[in-house]
A and B are shown apart, each in its own frame.
Chain A
């Protein structure tokens, strides 16, 4: 899967690209305009052309565009036709850490054992990291999926 630079594939161009990948059929500028909430078909056309020039889409003889190849997008993973921010998986990893730390605290409380200060700091740090990854990951996911 070839990589495309972030400068070339971002914002609206990225949304148009994702829309085309998900469509799984040839799409025209009007389809893209409606699907990604663009102001006019000419704006959609400009982005489609840009994607064609990048070698990601091909134009058929009816003037519609289809996916030529899926490219890697920095900070994301393709799951089928869905683009998922890696941050979501980082959030899941830190959630695992957090679960283990909270379980440790619960066990120590149940056994009437003191909670080490280091464990409290570690849990707070992990909670913050989990919250940040989850918030940023969700925000990024919304940016790439919402029209």
Chain B
């Protein structure tokens, strides 16, 4: 064998040994390159435009000012169904749910999403990736959980209010987290729905059947369905 070949071979073996020696450092980090696609769906949306009687003193809001007639106080409850379709343990912590007249999504090559909303009605975001008392961010393999995002907002966009009254809006949901090994776990869903109008309340329901109600845990995040006889 030529000396040069021996030199190259020897150097290659030494290089490989170096790589092998550092492999305990490298291999766990390879998990970071993986991204798991989660299944997510907005299964329930409840939007209510609050009415206040200006004659009653002490209500936290009233419409005593004319300008406030265009300012709508909206209470909302979004329920998203988040499924871990893999056999990996996941830690999910960032949840978004929103409703708007029009929602456009652009996905960039590295997986980032750009979400553009026209006449947004409600946008709710929860970052529960840090410790949140009483709530577990772990998703067992092949399991689903219902997550609630609720609250009250002010919306002065009259076009959004008009869109809500027509009942046809877009619902967007997004979840982001990590695998137990450190890789990314992401998912989003966008759909156009027809809301059911009941007075000042608007409903989209693919979750509850007759005799069923929703029960929220004390932290207001996990949701269960209860069947009543």
Residues of A within 8 A of B2 (CB): 80
Segment among A6-14, A63-71, A107-115 that sits at the interface with chain B:
A107-115
Q: Is A95 an interface residue (CB 8 A)?
A: yes
Q: Are A111 and B33 in contact (CB under 8 A)?
A: yes
- A90-B14, A97-B21 known; A104 and B26 CB under 8 Å? yes
B16 touches A101 (CB 8 A): no
Q: Which of A94, A100, A108 has the most CB of B within 10 A?
A: A100
Residues of B within 8 A of A (CB): 1-4, 6-7, 10-12, 14-23, 25-26, 29-30, 32-33, 182-184
Fill in one digit per residue for A37-64: 1 if any B CB lies within 8 Å of its CB, else 0.
0000000000000000000000000000
**Nearest 10 interchain pairs by C-beta:** A96-B18, A100-B22, A92-B14, A80-B3, A111-B32, A82-B3, A92-B11, A96-B15, A79-B6, A96-B19
Roughly how many angstroms separate A99 CA and B20 CA in the complex, as a whole number? 11
Q: Which of A72-94 contact B (CB under 8 A)?
A: 77, 79-82, 84, 88-90, 92-94
Please tell me if A131 contacts chain B, counting CB pairs below 8 Å: no
Q: Which A residues are in CB contact (< 8 Å) with B18? A: 92-100
Measured between alpha carbons, how far is A53 from B197 in the docked complex, in Å? 109
A119 to B29, CA, bound (A): 12
Residues of A within 8 A of B (CB): 77, 79-82, 84, 88-90, 92-101, 103-104, 107-108, 110-111, 113, 119
- Asked if A89 meets B29 with Cβ closer than 8 Å, knowing A82-B7, A96-B19, the reply is no
How long is the Cα–Cα vector from A108 to B124 in the complex, in angstroms?
Answer: 30
- Cα distance, A92 to B15, chains bound together (Å): 5
Cβ contact within 8 Å between B32 and A113: yes
B6 nearest in chain A by CB position:
A79
A89 contacts B26, C-beta separation under 8 Å = no
| Residue with the greatest number of chain B CB neighbours at <10 A, chosen from A95, A96, A98 | A96
Q: Does A84 lie within 8 Å of B33, measured CB to CB?
A: no
**Is the Cβ of A89 less than 8 Å from the Cβ of B10?**
yes
Q: How far is the CA of A60 from the CA of B50 in the complex (A)?
A: 113
Q: Which residues of A contact B6 (CB under 8 A)?
A: 79-80
Task: Give the residue of B7, B17, B26, B32 whose beta carbon is less than 8 angstroms from that of A93.
Answer: B17
The minimal Cβ–Cβ distance linking A32 to chain B, given in whole angstroms, is 21
